[in-house]
Amino acid sequence: MMMLAAPVIAVALTLLVGAVLFTLLGHDGFGAILEIFVRPLFNPYRWQDLLVKAAPLAIIAIGLAIGFRANVWNIGAEGQYILGGLAGTGIALATLDMAGPWILPLMLVFGILGGMAWAAIPALLRTTLGVNEILSSLMLNYVAIQLLYFLMRGPWMDPEGFNFPQTAMFSADQTLPMVVPGTLIHLGVPLAAAVALTAFAVMARTVTGFQMKVVGLAPKAAAFGGFGAASTVWIALMAGGGLAGFAGILEAAGPFGQMVPQFPTGYGYTAIIVAFLGRLNPLGILLAAMVLALTYVGGESAQTTIGLPAAATGVFQAMMLFFLLATDILVRYRLVSGRAAPAGVPAGKSEGEAAPSGKGKAVAA
């Protein structure tokens, strides 16, 4: 129960403090909350939009969470997402004149491989030279954006596109089919749910999942248990990069239907918040992705209805992460007043239960 408490409190505090903050900034604070977090939920069209935006967020966040569990801090998902999109687009452009049901799966596979290849750079640097993956993976985001710009303005520009820096439109065999005809809901939405279920099974039932959890919780025990530090880094970055790349090609072959310079939308960064809000648990992440998707969808409609600046969305998202991190302490530690607990006895246990562990500690010391 306490595991769920922190995210719920964090979202509630964000709504409350957000309303006050935006009122102080001269906006309609409570109107903004209503418009962003409540109104879209009562609009069936917005629900489609919610699912479509939540899908890439969830897929990226699930990959990141696997790494975060093992204390591998891949913050290069944005770049891995771009490279996934680019790799899949490469296949699309090469097969533009062809037809067949094999094209789309091939694009998806290359999307995954593209994200993995980009994540392999920090993995290789970390495991061979000991380069901190936080900085290397982040720097590669900026490089990926320039690579995208280069391809759009140069080799991949649509020759019939009136000199606009974008690729040709993908063909019908290169775009994601809609799962519900007449809506926006494309194949990426059920795929996101499938990824979550698979990741949940892997984390709960396989040795690899166990390895990622043990390395994060008890690094020394993991080393004694034979889990190599290098393999952990590789698994974490391949999972993160592969899924970010997957999300990238799903977006390119789905909502975008071509590659454009506006392709990077910050999902790679927002997914970090999704991963934490979902408690690094694949199923929790599905829920958290819906909450963060709500800030995008609601934020967009609040721009038109009450003139809230676009940047408000980012502020709400960051506040959510701040409040989550702040309330986490209530989950990890129970507040004990003054001298209520004798020294050495963990809070929340009766003295009888705690006695053996107290003795153990004394022996160890």
Partner 1 sequence: MSLDLLVAILMTIAGAATPLLIAGLGELVVEKSGVLNLGVEGMMLIGAVTGFAVATSTGLPVLGALAAMGAAALAAAIFAVLVLTLMANQVATGLALTIFGTGVSALIGAPFVGITTPTLGPIFPDFLTSSPLLRLVFGHSPLVYLGLLLTLAVWWFLNRARAGLILRAVGESDSAAHAIGYPVLKVRYLAVLFGGAMAGLAGSYYSLVLTPMWAERLTAGRGWIAIALVVFASWRPGRMLAGAYLFGLVMTMELQAKAAGFNMVAPEVLAALPYIATIAVLAIISAARRGGTAAPACLGKPFRAAA
> 221, exposed or middle or buried, with CB in 10 Å at 0-12, 13-18, 19+?
exposed
Per-residue burial over 26-58, b if 16 or more Cβ lie within 10 Å, else e, is ebbbebbbbbbbebbeeeeebbbbbbbbbbbbb
Nearest approach in angstroms of CB 41 to partner 1 is 23
Residue 284 tokens read as 């929790």
By C-beta, is 80 or 136 nearer to partner 1?
A: 136
DSSP line for 24-49:
HTTS-HHHHHIIIIIGGGG-HHHHHH
- Nearest CB to partner 1, comparing residues 39 and 153: 153
Give the footprint of partner 1 on this chain (CB under 8 A).
25, 73, 75, 121, 125, 129-132, 134-136, 138-143, 146-147, 149-150, 153-154, 269, 272-273, 276, 309-319, 321-322, 325-326, 328-329, 343
Tell me the closest approach of the beta carbon of residue 339 to partner 1, in angstroms: 10
Instruction: Say if residues 65 and 296 touch (Cβ distance below 8 Å).
Output: no
Q: Phi and psi for 89 in degrees, rounded to 5?
A: -65, -35
Nearest residue (CB) to partner 1, 185 versus 215: 215
Q: Among residues 141 and 166, whose Cβ is nearest to partner 1?
A: 141
What token pair was written down for 352?
Answer: 């009888």
Query: Residue 273 CB, nearest distance to partner 1 (Å)?
Result: 7
Shortest Cβ 277–partner 1 spacing (Å)? 11
Of 257 and 261, the one with the shorter C-beta distance to partner 1 is 261
**Residue 198 Cβ vs partner 1, minimum distance, rounded to whole Å:** 25
User: What's the min distance (Å) between Cβ of 262 and partner 1?
Assistant: 14
Angle at 283 between CA 311 and CA 315, to 5 degrees: 10
> Sign (positive/negative) of CA torsion 203, 200, 179, 53?
negative
Residue 105 or residue 130: which is nearer to partner 1 going by CB?
Answer: 130
